[in-house]
Structure 1
Amino acid sequence: MELENKNVLVLGLGVSGVSTTKALVKLGANVIVNDSKTEEDLKSNLKELEGLDVVYKLGNNDIKLGNIDLIVKSPGVPLTVPLLHKANELGIEVITDIELAYRIAKNPFVAITGTNGKTTTTTLIGELFKNCGKNCKVAGNIGVGLLWEVVNCEDKDIFVIETSSFQLESTKYFKPKVSVIINITPDHLKWHKSFENYINAKKKIFKKQGNADFTVLNYDDGILRNLEKEIKSNVIYFSQKKKLDKGVYIDGDYIVIDDGEVSKKVIKYKDIKIPGKHNVENSLAAVCVGWLMGVPIECIKETLYTFEGVEHRLEFVEEIDGIKFYNDSKGTNPDASIRAIEAINKPIILIAGGLDKGSEFDEFIKSFNGKVKALILLGETAEKIKGTAIRHGFNNIYIVDNMRKAVNKAFDISEKGDNVVLSPACASWDMYNSYEERGKDFKSEVEKLRGH
């Protein structure tokens, strides 16, 4: 894709916006950056772009599009904003960074999506490649700007990218060598307007793939199992529940790779280092990708033995007076938090609540199942979750204003042997800029309990 001397508008100056701006300047484009936030709000991000020849239009989205050739929007900018409606009327193409990265890269892409487990699975696949000596860049929706990595990569690099529904929604030609959908449950319904729209955004990960490519799907997920007729690439399934004719599955105690003729044991699934049934699911998906991309079984085995997971996803923080604290700030929807509850031993004191994405919390409350002894709520959804809990007969609930009060209340009511778990079941954007910031705040407040 020829970008030299093209007028490119970068819409949104988050992590992807900074990466995209730097890359476009290097590629010779004339870059205009627009963000509704002010210069003061964006101070740290602007510092990363110091010295670059960029035009900034900050503080609002009131910008003329007459001479713009292309818009690269941040995944977090909805397609419904008036500026993008105007772009559509003018015939200006609007894409996200993963689409642009695909168009300019010559490297193989492994793309991972799903409602839950994306970050863990993406990171684990990256470790599989690195541990067997393959050159690998882990990027995408994982906190590392993709486009800057692409313009600075070597031809032998493999890109392992976490892709959200927001990023996939604006793709047109994006075609990874291997695509992975780990699971699909309702999420981001306020954004996508319906579960069907959300599923359709996720499906764009495989829409352009052909018969030389692979799509990895979770056989245990009924929605995914029924997608095969829509897919033109080679479908490979993984399963915790069924012995497959071909794919990766659990047979007795073992994870097995079966190529349709020969099955090979990899590792006992209970020997995976990261805890929880959901992490067995993530590991099976990663094993599929490793197998398809030629990672030796011994290397897959060693990585599963040693991989400790990712920050903010069931991360053990500290043990104080016999009380263990876990940071699961990446539990940004009810299904993710249900998985956390399933993975941690009782008794649990659960800290939850945050931005309302239109989710319902009935299944979340039902999953407590005698394991959760107290619920501490904060954020926009506190009253909504409380009402749902009471309706299902759970009444040991505390509502607090901030994370400090949540952690202190959890410590006050806990006893030796309890597990305090932050797993919000909601996004963070009502109180924080990201789930990472929320998780760091939780860990900071736990640390302050030392020497109480």
Structure 2
Amino acid sequence: MSQVKKYLVVGLGKSGVSAAEALLRYGAEVAVYDKKTQEEMEVQLVNYLKTQNVRCYLGTDPLELDSFNAIVVSPGVPLDLPFIQKAKTLGVEIIGELELAYRLGKGNYIAITGTNGKTTTTTLVGEIFKNARRKTAVVGNIGIAVTSTALTAQEDSWLVTECSSFQLETTERFHPVVCALLNITPDHLDRHKTLENYAKVKAKIFRNQTEKDFFVVNYDDAASYELIEDCKSTVVPFSRKSTLDFGVFVKDGRIVIKDQDHELIDICGTEELIIPGEHNLENALAASGISYFCGIASEIIAKTLREFQGVEHRLEFCSEIAGIRFVNDSKGTNPDASIKAIEAIKGNIILIAGGYDKNSKYEEFIRAFHGKVKALVLLGATAPKIRETAERLGYQTIFDEKDMGECVKKSFSLAEPGDTVLLSPACASWDMYSSYEQRGRHFKSCVQELER
């Protein structure tokens, strides 16, 4: 990497800005591109870039593509942009911020991917490592750019990294010592086109591993487990349904690990977990396997599992008003995630759903209602598509609202004591919000308005 001096950073979101800053510290010559014009950008950011002698292409395609040794593409930027495709034909290397961090920095990487459960599992693993007094940073798709930490990491640092398919797509040398694949269900097909392509991108997480490394994978998820054929590292399966000869599983209501010496290590009872739902049991199994095979004591793993209360925007209890519970699951950005949320809630549900269309299908989502969802309150670009699917499958109690405030008011009016108003959109947020976090916070503020 030392011979690469000229970089173009594409996309000036959080990871793009962090990548540009890292490259400047590295001593590289940096140019940046964003589809926004200079007038649409934050003034402070533009002024900072100019003071650092960064060439800015704002609202206009970059020129002299063959002058760059590498282009660093932010995760949300599609790789089929014409100038990126042209750069490829010119032999310019295309990488992402995760790959850049790995090349420039130090430390040991724990990489976690999957359609659902990434944030919860990454956060949980981070807590286990911190409780084990490891030098730990929790980074990646969780909201903290990897480059913001990688350059200050030491040889004994641990970077617990949530990896999206968009990030993995632009990796080449990225080599985690332990990685995990939680599940694969249809998602981001607007970008990856087919489920097979999506799975291939997810499989890049273990591509550079060796026999000294570990790959933790969901034994119960066929789409994930079939990928082990191409894996060179030690495969550590986890299962909540089956007893395993090696790996992490549930035995007599307890999380246990059978190690390479066939010793059975008891972790804790499944009923001791605070986080609800079978999907969160799977997340706990994965986190236990990751941590144990990194050498962390079972007692520390158990203590953390018993204390972990989950993450914001994932089945997050917000309030109870007049006997009606409000739960924020804005992290439910695809149908499978929302199905898991519906399954985890006890009692009847008024469900708020809808958002940006990622070319998802909603039949299984509607079928998961099972008489449990009393009413469906829709908003956003996918509202007509979800309504059409629901009505075709015989579900009729549907209400369309223009914004989150109206959705919350309508849901409250439909609910009875003992019911749960659940925001679990089954869609991304980008049609109305900048992120699922912003959407979740807006939901919570709308709930607070009801309490006034």
Q: TM-score normalised to the size of structure 1?
A: 0.97
Structure 1 partner of 2:412: 411
How do 1:229-378 and structure 2 match up within 5 A?
229-260=229-260, 261-378=262-379
Local SS of the residue matching 1:342? helix
Q: Contact 1:349–1:373 at 8 Å: present in 2 too?
A: yes
List aligned pairs for 1:44-443, cutoff 5 A.
46=45, 49=48, 51-260=51-260, 261-443=262-444
Q: CA 1:274–1:198 in 2, change beyond 3 Å: closer, same or farther?
A: same
Cα pair 2:106 2:153 within 8 Å, conserved? no
Amino acid at match of 2:214: F
C-alpha displacement at 1:311, in angstroms?
Answer: 0.8
Counterpart CA distance in 2 for 1:62 and 1:23 is 21
CA distance in 2, matches of 1:215, 1:401: 45
The CA deviation at 1:319 is 1.1
Deviations 1:308-342 (A, max 9, x none): 11111111111111111111011000000000000
TM-score (norm 2): 0.97
Deviation above 6 Å: which 4+ runs of structure 1?
none
Report the CA distance shift for 1:324/1:63 in structure 2 as closer, same or farther (over 3 A): farther
Q: Provide Cα deviations, 1:157-199, integer angstroms capped at 9, x if missing partner.
A: 1011011111111111111101100000111111101111101
Deviations 1:238-279 (A, max 9, x none): 000011001110001100011142102111011111111100
- Alignment-derived partner of residue 2 in structure 1: 2
1:39 Cα deviation after fit: 3.3
Q: Is the 8 A contact 1:18 1:145 kept in 2?
A: no
Counterpart of 2:13 in structure 1 is: 14
CA contact (8 A) 1:25 1:53 kept: no
Cα drift, residue 62 of structure 1: 4.6
How many percent identity over aligned positions? 51
Q: Give the partner amino acid of 1:82.
A: P
> Aligned pair 1:31/2:33, yes or no?
no
Q: What CA deviation, in whole Å up to 9, does each residue of 1:60-101 have, x standing for no partner? A: 335431422210000111111001111011110010011111
Distance change (3 Å), C-alpha of 1:386 and 1:17: same
Q: How far does residue 55 in structure 1 lie from its aligned partner after superposition?
A: 2.3
Specify whether residues 49 and 143 from structure 1 end up closer, same or farther in structure 2 by C-alpha distance, changes over 3 A only: farther
Query: Take 2:3 and 2:254, find their aligned partners in 1: how far apart are those partners?
Result: 50
Indicate if the aligned counterparts of 2:66 and 2:87 stay in contact, CA closer than 8 A: no
Q: Aligned partners of 2:143, 2:265: CA distance in 1, in Å? A: 35
Distance 1:420 1:7 in 2: 52
SS at match of 2:127: helix
Distance in 2 between the 1:268 and 1:47 partners? 53
Structure 2 distance, partners of 1:421, 1:75, is: 29
Q: 1:96 to 1:126 in 2, by over 3 A?
A: same
Cα deviations across residues 328-386 of structure 1 (Å, max 9, x unaligned)? 01100000000000001121000000111111101000000011000000111101101
Inter-partner Cα distance in structure 1 for 2:222 and 2:277: 21
Counterpart-to-counterpart distance in 2, 1:426 and 1:49:
35
Q: What CA deviation, in whole Å up to 9, does each residue of 1:400-452 have, x standing for no partner?
A: 1111111111112212111001000001111111111111111111111112x
Once the two structures are overlaid, the 10-residue window that deviates more, 63-72 or 379-388, is: 63-72
The answer to whether the Cα contact below 8 Å between 1:254 and 1:266 also exists between their aligned partners in 2 is yes
CA–CA distance in structure 1, aligned partners of residues 17 and 64 of structure 2 = 21
Deviation at 1:48, TM superposition (A): 9.8
Residue 304 of structure 1 aligns to a residue whose secondary structure is helix
SS in 1 for 2:224: helix
Task: Report how far residue 3 of structure 1 moved.
Answer: 6.3
Aligned residues of 1:142 and 1:162 also touching (Cα < 8 A): yes
1:382 counterpart letter in structure 2: A
Q: Counterparts of 1:304 and 1:427 in 2: how far apart (Å)?
A: 29
AA aligned to 1:336 is A
Judging changes above 3 Å, is the alpha-carbon distance between structure 1 residues 151 and 271 closer, same or farther for their aligned structure 2 residues?
A: same
Contact map agreement 2:239 2:250 (CA 8 A) in 1: yes
Q: Quote the Cα distance in structure 2 between the aligned partners of 1:106 and 1:132.
A: 20
C-alpha deviation, 1:54, in angstroms: 2.1
Q: Which 10-residue stretch deviates more, 410-419 or 177-186?
A: 410-419
